Amino acid sequence: MASINKIDSLGLGEYILQLAGEGKGSREISTILDTVKGVKISHASVNSWLKSVRQERAETTKAVVQETIKATVPRDLQILDEQIMQLDGWRKDETLKISDRLQIIREQRATISVKLDKSGANENDISDFATALQAARERAKNV
């Protein structure tokens, strides 16, 4: 673990991230550090350091996404309410074929399900929520 601090103390972090971004693995990065920079850092230490950076960035990203969702939920719920009302109007339109009305009912159920998920009534994982929200937005574009 001492090499993790060594990476930071020698300011090699950005260089290692650049190499990793080029698709190089931890063994290759370790070899490059030795030959190009003259610094011996094991591939296991490089791997551990990269893992910790990825984890930190994932946590930061998750927090940003959660804040964005928190800010957009009221408007998104309003849009879903509008969709449900529009679908209900179409569902009651007796001039439509039964097959069309059944499709509208399926869409209405799906929209209600998204609203329940989004409101927290169905405790879903954040990735399920994001997928459902994206699907609802795509459906909204097509209405």
Count of Cβ atoms closer than 10 Å to residue 16 Cβ: 21
- Given a cut of 50, the residues of the chain with pLDDT beneath it are 1-3
Same domain, 120 and 68: yes
Same domain, 77 and 120: yes
86, 143 in Cβ contact below 8 A?
A: yes
Same domain, 38 and 90: no
pLDDT for res 76: 81
pLDDT tens, residue by residue, 70-105: 888 788 888 888 888 888 888 888 899 999 989 988
pLDDT for res 95: 92
Q: Is 57 left (phi over 0), alpha (psi -120 to 50) or beta?
A: alpha
Report pTM.
0.48
Same domain, 22 and 92: no
Same domain, 99 and 136: yes
pLDDT for res 34: 93
Same domain, 80 and 108: yes
79, 124 in Cβ contact below 8 A?
A: no
Closest by alpha carbon to 76, among 132, 8, 20, 14?
132
- Here the tokens at position 127 are 């990735």
45, 105 in Cβ contact below 8 A?
A: no
Same domain, 131 and 105: yes
Domain around 32: 2-56
Same domain, 73 and 6: no
Domain count, the chain: 2
Same domain, 116 and 103: yes
Same domain, 40 and 104: no
Closest by alpha carbon to 15, among 38, 35, 33, 42?
33
